[in-house]
Structure 1
Amino acid sequence: MQKRTLMLLVTLVFSALQAFGQGSTVTIKGKVIEEETDLPLSFVTIAVVGIGSDVPLAGTLTADDGSFNIETTASDFAIKISFIGFETKLIEDFTVEGNEIDLGIVVLGADSQELEDVVVVGEKSSTEFRLDKRVFNVGQDLSTAGGSALDVLSNVPSVNVNIEGQISLRGSAGVQILINGKPSVMASDGGNALGTLTADMIESIEVITNPSAKYEAEGTAGIINIVLKKDERKGTNGSISLNTGIPDNHSVGLSLNHRTEKFNLFSQLGVGYRNMPNENTSINRNKVTDTTIYSVGNGDKYETFYNVILGADYHINDNNVITLSGNYSLEDEDQPSVTNFSSLYGETVISSWDRTEDTEATNPKYQFDLQYKRDFDDHEDHDLLFSALGSSFAKDQSSYFTNQTTAGADEDLEQRTATDFGETQYTFKLDYTKPFSDVFTLETGSQYFINDVGNDYMVENLENGTWMVDASQTNVFDYNQKVLGVYATGAYEKEKWGLKLGLRVEDTDLKTYLQNTGEENNQNYTDLFPSIHTSYELRENLSIQGGYSRRIFRPRLWDLNPFSNIQNNYNIRTGNPDLQPEYSDSYEVATIYNAGDLSLNFTLYQRNTTGVVERISFYEDNVNITRPENIGTNNSTGLELNAKYDALDWFTATVDMNYNYFVRNGEFDGTSFDFSNDQWSGRLVTKFKLPAGVDFEATTNYRSSYQTVQSTISDQFFMDFGLRKKIIRGRGVLNMSVRDAFASRIQESIIDQPEYSLYNEGFRGRFITLGFSFSFGKGEAMTYSGGRR
C-alpha cells in the first residue's frame, strides 16, 4: 500500500508538470477483470509511462466494478496495468479516436511465480509427523475459530485441557509449555496469560513427547511448543478480524507486516471483551459426625483485554539477521459470584447462607525478545543462534466476600483479600549447529533461565467493625529459581537410517522464603539428561522410529506457594513449599505409514516416573484442603493411534486415540497408595465440503474416567462444530464455531474415604462465536480469528 501511494503521488506531480508542457488531453478508459472468475478487480494500478521507461506520467486505481478513467497530455507513452499477485500488462499498441482510448475489457491472469509466495496455513495437512515431534497446523481447525490458545490446545491429539485450564499430555500434567521454543511468562500457570494468545496469532502447535537433549529437560510428559505467526513475504501484508459471541466474546484483531530487502516489520494488535461463566457444586460429607456442607455456586469472569506485539527483523546481509520484538498485554478483570451454602446434620438443615464475591484485578504483562542468527556459507544448516528474552507479569487483585444468613444458625461473615504479585523471567540461549558432512551433524549450546517472584497476600476479617488481619492465611512468599543447562547432540543420517544421540546437563538452584514465618526451602541439584532417537525407512511409504529421553518436572510457583483461595472457604487449594522435583524415563517406538489417501501412525510408549506430584486432600471440620505432595512412582504403558483418510474430494476424517495402563506405588502418612488403573481418550474430526464453497467440521471428543491416588475422575463426552466460507476472492473469511455444542463437558471428581467423602463438579457450558476476517496484500484471509473463550 505504501508503494502504491508513493507511486500515485509521483504520478500526480508528473501529471501537473505535463499539463504545463503539453497540448491536447487524451482520455483512457477500460475495465479490468480476473481471468479465472471473470470478476472485476478493484484497486488495480493503471499508469501512463514513457516508452521504454517505468517513469509514471499519470496514474489511477480501478473502481469497485473494475473500471478506470485517466487523462494524459503525453504524446508518446504506454499503459501499464499491474496488481499484486497478477501478471503485469504493458500496452503499447492502441488506437486514439477523438482524443479517447478505449481499452475495453482487460483480462489479468494470476502470476504463478508470485502465487508460490502465497502460502495458506489453513491448507496444510492438519498434523505432520517429524523425527522427534508432531506439528498440528492451526488453520485446519475450524471448530476453534474465535477461540484462544487453550481452545486450540484442547483439539490437539494427546493433549487435554480441563475446564480450569490445566494442560496435560498423555494423561500427565508434567508438561512444559513453550512459546516460539522458549519459556515465557505468557505460558505460566499463575498468569493465565494464554488467554491473551488468540487462535489467529498461532501458526502451529508442536507436540514433542520425547524431546532430544537440545531441548530443556523440564516436563516429564514432554513439551508443547506454541509457534506464533510472522509473515515474511515482501511488500505490505495484513489482515483484520472481527468476532462476536455468546456468552460475551467480542474482539477486533489487526495483523500488519511490511517486508523490504533489509527489514521485516511485523505487528499484531488485539482488543476485546469477554465473559467466562462457570457453575460448580461441592458436597463435603463427614461420615463420623453425619454432617454435610453442600454448596452450589455461579460466577462470571468478565475481562477487557488488550494485546500488542511489535517486532522487526533486520537482515544485515545474506548471512546475518537480528530480530527484536516486544509484547504488551493487559487484562482488566471483574469476577462476581454467588455461592449458596447449606449445613446439614443428617437430612436436617442447620443453617443456610449466601456467600457473594466481588473481585477486581489488573494484570499487565511485558515481554521482549532479542535474537541474532548467523548463517555460514559452507553449509545451509551451519548456523549460530543467540537469543535473550525477558518478561514480566504482575497482578493487583482485591476481593470482597460477604456471608449472609438465609436460614438457621448465624453464618454472617465479611472478609477481604489483597494480592500484590510480581514475576520476572529471563532466558539466555546460545545454539550452534555444524554439519561436518552430508550425513553427520553436531549441535551444541547452553541456556540460562532466571525466574524471580514475589507474592504479597493478605486476608482480613471484619470483627466488631474493624478489619483484622488473619495471620494464619496471610503471607509474603519469595521465589527464585535459576537453571543453567549445557547440551550436545550428534546426528548421523543416511538415506534410509538415522541416529541422534544427545546429553544435557542442568544445574538447578531454587530458593523459597515465607517472610511471615521465616520458613525457607533451598534446593540445589545437578542432573544428567541423555536422549537417543533413531529412524529407519522400511520402504518408501513405511518407516519406524524409536526414542528415549530423561526428563524432570520441577515444582512450579503455584505448587510451592502456600497461597489459599477462599472463594469457597470449605474447599481450599494451597501449595507446598517442601515439594521436590519428579523425574521420568520415557521410551517410545512409532511406525508411520502413508498410502496416498490413508495415513497411519502407531506409537507404543513407556514412561516411568519417580517422586510423582499429586494433589492430596486433608479433611478436618468439614473443610477440605488440597495440597500437592510427592507420592511414590508411576509406571505407564500406552498405545497411541493417529489416522487420516481423505480419499474423497468432499470428505476427510481424522482419528486420534490414546490408551494407557498405569501402576501406582507409594505411601503417604503411613497409608499405602498402591493401585493400578487405565484411561483412554478418543477424538474424531470429520470435515465436509458443502455446496457454495462452505466447509463444515465436526469434532467428537471422549475421555474415559480414571483413578488418582484418592479420587475418581468421571468421563467426558463433548462435541464441537465449525463452519467456514471464503469470500471476496479468498481474501475474506466468514466463520462460526460452536464449542461444547451439547453442554456436556462436565468435570466431576469423587473422593470416598472411610471417614469422609467429597464430590466436586464444574461446568462451563456452550460457547458460540461468529467471525469475519479480511486480508490485504499478497496473502489470503486468516482462516481463524478472535478472542478467548
Structure 2
Amino acid sequence: MLLVFKNSKSIGLTIIFFLLSLFTLFGQSKNISITGKVLESSTNQPVAFATVILVEHETKNNLTGTTTQDDGTFKLETEASNFYIEVSFIGFKTKSIKDFKIAKGKIQLGNITIEEDLEQLNEVVVEAEISKTEFKLDKRIFNIGKDLSSTGASALEVLNNVPSVNVNIEGAISLRGSQGVQILINGKPSIIASDSGNTLGTITADMMERVEVITNPSAKYDAEGTSGIINIILKKEERKGLNGSASVNIGDPSNYSFGMSLNRRTEKFNLFSQIGIGYQELPNHRKSINRDLIENTTLKSNGTEYRNETYYNIILGTDYHINENNILTLSGSFAYEIEEQPSSFDFDLFDGTERSIWKRTEETEATNPRYQYELQYKKDFDDHEDHMLLFSALGRFFGKDQSSDFNDVTLAGPDRDADQKTRTDYKNANYTFKLDYTKPYNEKFTIETGGQYVLDNTTNDYEVQDLVGNVYETDPNQTNIFEFDQNVLGVYGTAAYEGEKWGIKLGLRIENTDIETLLADTNENNDQNYLNLFPSFHSSYKLSDSYSLQIGYSRRISRPNWRDLNPFFNIRNNFNIRTGNPDLQPEFTDSYELTNIYNLGKASLNFGVYYRYTTDAIERRISTFEDNVNTYKPYNIGTNDALGIEVNGKYPVAKWLVFNGDFNYNYFKRKGEFEGTSIDFNADQWSGKLTSKIGFPGDIDFEITGNYRSGTKTVQGKTAEILFADLGLRKKVLKDKGTISISVRDVFASRIEEFETIQDDFYLFNQNQRGRFIIFGFSYGFGKGEAMEYGGKQSGGGRRR
C-alpha cells in the first residue's frame, strides 16, 4: 500500500496550505445571507443558471451576484444594507424583489417564480450568448454559450475554448499543460469519453450545457487522472410540451451532417432524444525524418492519411418522477461508424552511397458499433433539499472490426516491393456501479459518503500476414490476442463546512486496483494489485463581495490503460512504430493550488498558483532506434516537479464587444534516468487564448479566437510552438427561430505540430497537420426549442488501432 505524504516535501506543502486556510478564520464581519429557489411559473420547474444580483438602491450599481444551481437554488452574501434583488434569465421577465425581511442576518426568499417573456426572446444580445465561468468550492463551471467558433463543433473543439484546457491536433486533452485527464459525461465514465475510437466525436456543442473543470478533485470523485477531471454535462430539456430543434451542415473538407433533438415533458415523464447522421473526411498530413548518426543514413517519409466516416448515432432516455422525492432515469445511446482509411506515403532512404525510393499505400475498412445504457435512481429526503441518495448502474461497449491492405511499390533503387494484410478484432466492455449519499446536518455542515465498483474488460485480437509467393502467411512474431481485465473498488467519505464567509472540505478515498493481462497465443501474463489512499482538502474564504480565495490539495493516480500495456503494434508506418510496455506502473501526483477570484464591476479576473509533484512519471513517447526504425513506447521515468501560474478573465467593453482571455505558465523539473543515462533537466511552457466577440447591426454576430502554445523541452528532444486562429459568423433569421452560420477552424492553416527527438546516436523529426475546416450550417428550433448548431463529429482527434 502506497501511503500519502511519503516524503517531507509533500508534508511541508500540506502544512503550509492548511495554515493558509486557517488564516481565513480571522477578520470575519457580520454578513447578510440570502437564499431562495427560482421556478418557472407555468410548470413550477426549477430554473438552472438564472442570474440573481443585488442592486444598490441609490446608484443602481450591481453589488454582487450569482447563478442558480440545477435545482434552482442560490445563496448570496453581502455586507451592504441598502439594496434590492433582481432575478433574470434569458427569455423570462426580470423580477425585482424589494420587500423582504432580515431575521438573524438571513433573508429567506423561498420560491421565486418568473414568467416567460416572448418579446425578450427576440432581443437576445451578444452578452447573453457568452460562455461564462463560475467558481465553486472544489471546481470551476464553464457554462456553454453559443460561441460562434464552436458552431458545428465537437466536444473536443469546445473544450479547446475552456480556460485551462488544451486539445492538440491528435485530440489528446491536457489540463494546465499536463495530460492524464479523466473525462466524465454527466459525472460518470462513458465510452464516448474514452480513448476507444473517436473519443468525444459523437458529442457536439449543441448537446452540451456546461463543462466542469476540477483541477483538484475531492475524494468523492474517482482518483483516476493525475491532472484532474473534466466533467461534461449534457442538456436535458425540462420545458413542458414538445420541444426540439434540427440542423443541417455542409463543410470542406467534405462534411455533411443532420441532427435533431426532441423532448417531451409531462407531469410524470421527461422523454428526451437526439439523433445524428453524417459523413466526414479528416485528412492528416504527415512528415517524418529518421536519421542514424552512427551509420550516416537518412529516411524521409511524406504523405497524407485519411479517416473517412459515415456515422449514425441516437440517444434515448426518460426521467420518471415517481413522486416528489423519487426519480428513476433510464437512458441509452447507440452509435455506428463505417470507416475508410486510405493513405499514401513516399519513402526515401539514403545511406550515403545508394538511394532507395518507394511508395506505401494503405486501404483500411472498419465498422465500429458502440452502445451505452444506464439505470439511475435518486431519492430526495424531506428534511433538507440537499439530503439525497443516488444509485446508478452503467454499462457500455465498444467494438472495432478492421481489415487493412498495405502495398509497397519500388520507385528507384533496391527492390522494396511487398504486400501485407492486417486484421483487428477489438472489444471493450465496461460496467460501473455507484452509490452516493449526501446528508446536510444543518445549513453549514454536510457529509458525503459512497462507493464505486468499475469492471473493465478488453480483448484485442491482432494478426499480420505477409504475401509469400502467391499466398498470405501469418507472421507469428506480430500476431497475438491481448486480454486486459481491470477492476477498481473505491469507497470515500467527505465532510464540509460552509459558513457565510469561510468554507472547508476534507475527504479521504480508498481504492483497490486489480489488473490482469494475458498474451493468449504465448501464454504470457502480467498481473498487478495495489491499494492506495487518496486524501483531499479544499477551503475558500470570501474577503469581500468582489474578492474570494480558494485553496486545495488532492492526490491522484494515472493507471496504464490497455494500449499502454499491449506490446503488439500496428504496422501502418513500419519505420515509426508505437508499442506498449507490459511493465508500466501507475504514476501518482500530489496537487496543490491557490486561486484568487476578483469581480471588478463588469469585468472578472482569476489568478491562480499551482504545484504538482509526480512520482513514477509516465513518459508516453520514449524512442529507441535500430536499422532506421523508430520504436516508441511509454516508460516510468523518475519524478516531475511543476510550478505554474494561471490567469483568466473577461472584460465586456460594451454589449457589442467582449474579450475573454486565458494564460497559463508552468516551470518544471524532471529527474530520473533511462537506460542508465540521466535525463535531469529544467524547462518551461506557456499557452494563451484570446477571444473577441463582436455584435454587428442586422443581428450579425462575429467571433475570433487566437491560440498560442509555446515550444518546450522533452525528455529526449523538444516540441515546436503552435499559433492558430478560429472564427465564426452567425445571423438569426425567421423571427430568431432559425440561425445561419459559418465557422472556420485553423483559419490560416497554421496549426502544425512538430516533435524532435535529439540523441547522440539518432535524430527524429515528426510533423502533423490537419488543415483548415470550414462549415456552413442552418438550424431551426420548434415548440419552445431554440435553434441548435449540430455539426456532426468533426473531432479531428480520432485514434486508430
Counterpart residue number, 1:495: 500
**Amino acid across the alignment from 2:116:** E
Report the secondary structure of 1:765's partner residue.
coil
Summarize deviations over 1:544-592 as a string: whole Å, max 9, x none: 0000000000001211112312111100011111110000000000010
CA apart distance, 1:130? 2.1
Q: State the AA in 1 paired with 2:417.
A: D
CA distance in structure 1 between the partners assigned to 2:199 and 2:554 by the alignment: 29
The reply to whether residue 775 of structure 1 matches residue 777 of structure 2 is no
Select the residue among 134, 142, 148 that pairs with 1:136: 142
Alpha-carbon deviation of 1:733?
1.4
The residue type paired with residue 498 of structure 2 is: E
1:68-93 superposed Cα distances (whole Å, 9 cap, x missing partner)? xxxxxxxxxxxxxxxxx999xxxxxx
Matched to 1:399, the amino acid is S
Tell me if structure 2 keeps the 8 A contact 1:144–1:739. Answer: no
- Residue number in structure 2 paired with 1:337: 343
CA distance in 2, matches of 1:308, 1:505: 37
Pairing partner for 2:116 from 104, 114, 119: 114
Q: Contact 1:189/1:558 (CA < 8 Å) preserved in 2?
A: no
Give the whole-Å Cα distance in 2 for the aligned partners of 1:470 and 1:221.
40
Classify the secondary structure of the residue corresponding to 1:151.
helix
Amino acid at match of 1:587: Y
| 2:232 counterpart of 1:226 | yes
- Quote the Cα distance in structure 1 between the aligned partners of 2:414 and 2:128: 61
Structure 1 counterpart of 2:547: 542
Q: Distance in 2 between matches of 1:675 and 1:122?
A: 47
CA distance in 2, matches of 1:86, 1:417: 59
Does the 8 A contact of 1:773 with 1:785 survive in 2?
A: no
Q: Which of the numbers 281, 289, 302 marks the counterpart of 1:283?
A: 289
- Summarize the Cα distance change of 1:190–1:198 in structure 2 as closer, same or farther, 3 Å threshold: same
Aligned to 2:403: 398
Q: Distance in 1 between matches of 2:415 and 2:313?
A: 46
Relative distance call for 1:758 and 1:392 in structure 2 (3 A) is same
What is the Cα-based RMSD across aligned positions, in Å? 1.8
Candidates 658, 670, 674, aligned match of 2:676: 670
Distance 2:281 2:578 in 1: 24
SS of corresponding position for 2:585: coil
Shift of residue 112 of structure 1?
6.7
Distance 1:326 1:262 in 2: 19
Q: How does 1:186-585 map to 2 (within 5 A)?
A: 186-346=192-352, 350-585=355-590
Provide TM-score, normalisation by structure 1. Answer: 0.84
Deviation at 1:229, TM superposition (A): 1.4
Residues 1:171 and 2:177 are matched in the alignment: yes
1:404 deviation in Å? 0.3
| 1:678, distance to aligned residue in structure 2 (A) | 0.1
For 1:10-48, what per-residue CA distance to the aligned partner results, in whole angstroms no more than 9, with x for missing partners? xxxxxxxxxxxxxxxxxxxxxxxxxxxxxxxxxxxxxxx
Aligned-partner SS, 1:300: strand
Preserved contact between residue 737 and residue 769 of structure 1 (Cα < 8 Å): yes
Separation in 2, partners of 1:331, 1:291: 42
| Structure 2: runs of 5 or more not aligned | 1-90, 94-112, 796-801
State the AA in 1 paired with 2:541. Answer: Y
User: Residues of 2 paired with 1:556 and 1:157: CA distance?
Assistant: 27
Following superposition, the deviation at residue 124 of structure 1 comes to: 5.6
1:650 matched to 2:661? The reply is no
**Structure 1 residue 643, shift from structure 2 partner:** 1.1
Write the distance in 2 (CA, Å) between the matches of 1:200 and 1:573. Answer: 35
Aligned pairs (5 A) from 1:552-701 = 552-614=557-619, 615-701=621-707
Q: Distance in 2 between matches of 1:198 and 1:574?
A: 32
* Shift in Å, 1:140: 3.5
**1:362–1:396 CA contact under 8 A, matched in 2:** yes
| Aligned AA (1:202) | M
Amino acid at match of 2:368: N
Match of 2:116, SS state, is helix
Contact in 1 for aligned 2:258/2:790 (Cα 8 Å) = no
Distance across 2 between alignment mates of 1:489 and 1:395 = 40
Relative contact order (alpha carbons < 8 A, sep ≥ 6): 1 or 2 greater?
Answer: 2
Distance 1:286 1:216, change over 3 A: same
Taking structure 1 as reference, are residues 785 and 340 closer, same or farther at Cα in structure 2, changes over 3 Å only? Answer: closer
* Paired positions, count: 681
Q: How far apart in 1 are the matches of 2:399 and 2:482?
A: 14
How many Å separate the matches in 2 of 1:689 and 1:118? 17
SS of the counterpart of 1:276?
strand
* Structure 1: gaps of 5 or more residues: 1-84, 88-110
For residues 786 and 400 of structure 1, the distance between their equivalents in structure 2, rounded to whole angstroms, comes to 28
Pick from 739, 744, 764 the counterpart of residue 745 of structure 2. Answer: 739
| Counterpart Cα distance in 1 of 2:365 and 2:142 | 36
Q: Secondary structure at the match of 1:301?
A: strand
Contact 1:281–1:297 at 8 Å: present in 2 too? yes
1:309 & 1:115 partners in 2: Cα distance?
31
Q: Percent identity?
A: 60
Which structure is larger by alpha-carbon Rg, 1 or 2?
1
The one-letter code sitting in structure 2 at the alignment partner of 1:737 is S
Question: Which amino acid is the alignment partner of residue 663 of structure 1?
Answer: K
Query: Taking structure 2 as the reference length, what is the TM-score of the superposition?
Result: 0.83
Contact 1:149 1:788 in 2 (8 A): no
- Please state whether the residue corresponding to 1:472 is helix, strand or coil: helix
CA contact (8 A) 1:491 1:499 kept: yes
